C-alpha cells in the first residue's frame, strides 16, 4: 500500500522537477511510485504509509554505520545548541582536516565542500591550475557528479573530444574532456599519446559504482598511476563512494595505488551535505586563498555537518572490526545471491567487493560500461518491484550499487536471500 506516497508524489511533481530533488529517486528507470520515507533506523527505512523495508540504498552510501546512529545523533544535537552556521572558521573544521590528513597517506591537505559534485569540480580545477594543462580523461560509465565538464559522452571514438551529455552544457565545457574505456589501459594510452603534454588529469572511480558495480581488473589502477606519472598528468581517485567504505583508507589503501588527488563525499558527512578534495600539498596550495585556483562555499565545513562526519569517521577508525564484519556480510549476501541465481540458471551476473554489490541481468561478465549496458533493465525493474513489495528496498535503477551497513543483521540478509530464492 502506497497511497500516501502516491498522493505526495502527485503534489511533488507540480512544484519540483520530476517530483524529486535528485533524478534517481523518481523510479524513472523502473516505473512505479517512489516511496516517500518518513524515518530510518539502523538498516531499515519506513515510508509514509507505514511500510518497513530493509534498506540497501543507505542514502547512496553515507550511512555506513546504519541510520540514526546514537553517537552521531547526539553529537549533532549537541552541536546544534551552539548554532548551525557562522561563515567563520571553526575548531571542528581543523579537527576534521587533521583527522583525515593524519590517517590517509596520500592526503597532505584537504578542503571541505558541500557535495561530491563540488569536490570533483574543484579537484579538476586544482589539477588544471597546477599542471597548466586543459584536458581531462574520464571513463565511460563512471559518474563524478553533475559539473558541466563531467556531463559528457565519448565523441565518435575514444580519441575525440567529449560531447555534452545533457542539455544546457555547452560544447566548450566538454571539449577538453576525453572519455576512455574502463579496464582498458590502451584506450588511455592512445588518448595520452594523441594529446601529448595536454592532459591535466585522469579521474576514475577506483571501483565503478555508477554503472552498477564494476571492479578494476588486475593492474588497471597501477597502470593508470604509471601512465599519469609518465605523462605528467595527475591521477584523481573519485572516492565519493569507495572512500572510508572499502576499508578506512578506501580503494587507494585496498589496492595499494596512490592518487595525486582524492575526492570524498557521503561517508565523511554521515548523511549531512559534505564533500571534500585533498592530496599532495604542492597541488592543494594552489587553491585560494593560498593560491590562484579559486574555490569557495558558504556552508563549506559547516560545523553540524563536520561533527556528524567526524563522529562517524572516528567510530570507523577506532573499530576496524566494522570493516571485517562488512566484508563477511558482503561475502554472505552477494556470494549467496550468486549461488542462488546460478542454481536457478538465472541470466544474471553479480559483481561485488566488500559492502558494495550489484546484480546485473545479463549473462556477460561486466567489466566496463558497454558490458554493463547489456543488462536487461526491464528484468531489473521486475526484480526491484518484487523485492520492494516484500519489504526490501534496492536501488531504483540497474546502474547503481547495493550498500551494506554495520547495522544490517543476519536476519536482514537471510530474509533477502529467501526472497531471491523464491523469485
Ligand atoms: P553528489 O554531488 O551527489 O554528492 O556526489 C556526486 C558523485 C561523485 N562521485 C561519485 C563516484 C558518485 O557516486 C557521486 C554521486 N553518487 C550518486 C549515486 N550513484 C548520488 C545519488 C544521486 O545522484 O541522487
153 pLDDT tier (thresholds 50, 70, 90): confident
Summarize the confidence of residues 130-157 as an average pLDDT.
Answer: 92
Q: Name the residue at shortest CA distance from atom 1 of ligand 1.
A: 116
Please tell me whether residue 69 adopts helix, strand or coil conformation: coil
pLDDT of residue 86 exceeding 70, the answer is: yes
Average pLDDT for the chain: 97
Whether the CB of 205 sits within 6 Å of ligand 1: yes
More confident site: 137 or 153: 137
Cβ atoms of 187 and 181 within 8 Å: the answer is yes
Cell 571542528 -> residue = 92
| Residue 75 and residue 314 in contact, taking contact as beta carbons nearer than 8 Å | no
Burial class of residue 95 (count of CB atoms within 10 Å of its CB; 0-12, 13-18, 19+): middle
- Set of cell numbers at residue 295: 574555490
d(CA 14, CA 236): 40
Q: Does any ligand 1 atom lie closer than 6 A to the CB of residue 60?
A: yes
Ligand 1 pocket residue status of 269, Cβ below 6 Å: no
CA atoms within 13 A on the CB side of 202: 31
Q: What pLDDT does 357 receive?
A: 98
The bridge status of strand 163-164 relative to strand 152-153 is: antiparallel
Over the stretch 154-168, which tens digit does the pLDDT of each residue have?
Answer: 666 666 778 889 999
Q: Please say if 238 is a catalytic residue.
A: yes
- Terminal Cα distance for the chain, rounded: 21
pLDDT mean over 294-322: 98
**What one-character DSSP code corresponds to residue 355?**
T
Give me the pLDDT at residue 158, please: 61
**Residue 155: what pLDDT?**
62
Tell whether ligand 1 has an atom less than 6 A from the beta carbon of residue 117. yes
Report how far ligand 1's centroid is from the alpha carbon of 145 (Å): 5
pLDDT digits over 90-137, tens only? 999 999 999 999 999 999 999 999 999 999 999 999 999 999 999 999
pTM higher than 0.95, yes or no? yes
| Number of CB atoms found within 10 A of residue 32's CB | 17
Q: Are 310 and 82 in contact, with CB atoms under 8 Å apart?
A: no
C-alpha cell at 130: 597546477
Pocket test for ligand 1, best of 119, 204, 206, 265 (most atoms within 8 A of CB): 265
Q: Give mean pLDDT, residues 244-270.
A: 98
Mutate to test the pocket of ligand 1, among 145, 238, 266, 269 (most ligand atoms within 8 A of CB): 145
What is the arithmetic mean of pLDDT over 349-374?
Answer: 97
Question: Cβ(271) to ligand 1 under 6 A?
Answer: no
CA pair distance 260, 350, nearest whole angstrom: 31
Exposed / middle / buried, residue 160 (Cβ in 10 Å: 0-12, 13-18, 19+)? middle
Q: Does ligand 1 lie within 6 Å of residue 210's CB atom?
A: yes
Give mean pLDDT, residues 58-82. Answer: 98
Q: Answer whether the bond into residue 23 is a cis peptide, omega within 30°.
A: no
Which atom of ligand 1 is closest in space to residue 116's alpha carbon? 5
Percent of the chain with pLDDT over 70: 98
Is the minimum distance from the CB of 400 to ligand 1 under 6 angstroms? Answer: yes
Q: What is the pLDDT of residue 161?
A: 76
For 233-248, the DSSP string reads PEEEEE-TTTTTTSST
Q: Whose CA is nearest to atom 17 of ligand 1?
A: 60
Closest by CA to 50, choosing from 94, 93, 5, is 5
Quote the cell numbers at residue 376. Answer: 536487461
With beta carbons less than 8 A apart as the criterion, state whether 197 and 133 touch: yes
164 touches 170 (CB < 8 A): yes
Amino acid at each position: 500500500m502506497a497511497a500516501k506516497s502516491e498522493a505526495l508524489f502527485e503534489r511533488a511533481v507540480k512544484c519540483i522537477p520530476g517530483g524529486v530533488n535528485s533524478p534517481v529517486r523518481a523510479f524513472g528507470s523502473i516505473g512505479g511510485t517512489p516511496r516517500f520515507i518518513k524515518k530510518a533506523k539502523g538498516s531499515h527505512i519506513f515510508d509514509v504509509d507505514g511500510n518497513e523495508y530493509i534498506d540497501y540504498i543507505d542514502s547512496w552510501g553515507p550511512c555506513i554505520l546504519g541510520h540514526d546512529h546514537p553517537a552521531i545523533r547526539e553529537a549533532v544535537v549537541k552541536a546544534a545548541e551552539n548554532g548551525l552556521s557562522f561563515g567563520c572558521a571553526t575548531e571542528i573544521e581543523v579537527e576534521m582536516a587533521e583527522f583525515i590528513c593524519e590517517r590517509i597517506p596520500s592526503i597532505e591537505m584537504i578542503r571541505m565542500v558541500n557535495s561530491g559534485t563540488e569536490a570533483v569540480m574543484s579537484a579538476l580545477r586544482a589539477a588544471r591550475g597546477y599542471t597548466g594543462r586543459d584536458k581531462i580523461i574520464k571513463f565511460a560509465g563512471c559518474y563524478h557528479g553533475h559539473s558541466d565538464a563531467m556531463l559528457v559522452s565519448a565523441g565518435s571514438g575514444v580519441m575525440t573530444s567529449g560531447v555534452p551529455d545533457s542539455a544546457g552544457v555547452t560544447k566548450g565545457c566538454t571539449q577538453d574532456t576525453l572519455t576512455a574505456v574502463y579496464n582498458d589501459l590502451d584506450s588511455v594510452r592512445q588518448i595520452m599519446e594523441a594529446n601529448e603534454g595536454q592532459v591535466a588529469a585522469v579521474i576514475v572511480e577506483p571501483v565503478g559504482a555508477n554503472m552498477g558495480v564494476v571492479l578494476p581488473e588486475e593492474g588497471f589502477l597501477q597502470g593508470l598511476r604509471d601512465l599519469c606519472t609518465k605523462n605528467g598528468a595527475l591521477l584523481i581517485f573519485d572516492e565519493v563512494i569507495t572512500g572510508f567504505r572499502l576499508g578506512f583508507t578506501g580503494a587507494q589503501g585496498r589496492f595499494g595505488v596512490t592518487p595525486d588527488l582524492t575526492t570524498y563525499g557521503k561517508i565523511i558527512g554521515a548523511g549531512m551535505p559534505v564533500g571534500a578534495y585533498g592530496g599532495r600539498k604542492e597541488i592543494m596550495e594552489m587553491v585560494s586563498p593560498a593560491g590562484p585556483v579559486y574555490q569557495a562555499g558558504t556552508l563549506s565545513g559547516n560545523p553540524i555537518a563536520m561533527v556528524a562526519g567526524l563522529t562517524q569517521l572516528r567510530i570507523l577508525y577506532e573499530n576496524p572490526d566494522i570493516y571485517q564484519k562488512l566484508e563477511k556480510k558482503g561475502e554472505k549476501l552477494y556470494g549467496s545471491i550468486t549461488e542462488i541465481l546460478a542454481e536457478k540458471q538465472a541470466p544474471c551476473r553479480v559483481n561485488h567487493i566488500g559492502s558494495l554489490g550489484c546484480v546485473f541481468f545479463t549473462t556477460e561478465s561486466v567489466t566496463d560500461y558497454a558490458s554493463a549496458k547489456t543488462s536487461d533493465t526491464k528484468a531489473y525493474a521486475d526484480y526491484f518491484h518484487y523485492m520492494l513489495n516484500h519489504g526490501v528496498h534496492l536501488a531504483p535503477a540497474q546502474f547503481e550499487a547495493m550498500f551494506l551497513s554495520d547495522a544490517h543483521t543476519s536476519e536482514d540478509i537471510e530474509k533477502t536471500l529467501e526472497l531471491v530464492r523464491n523469485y
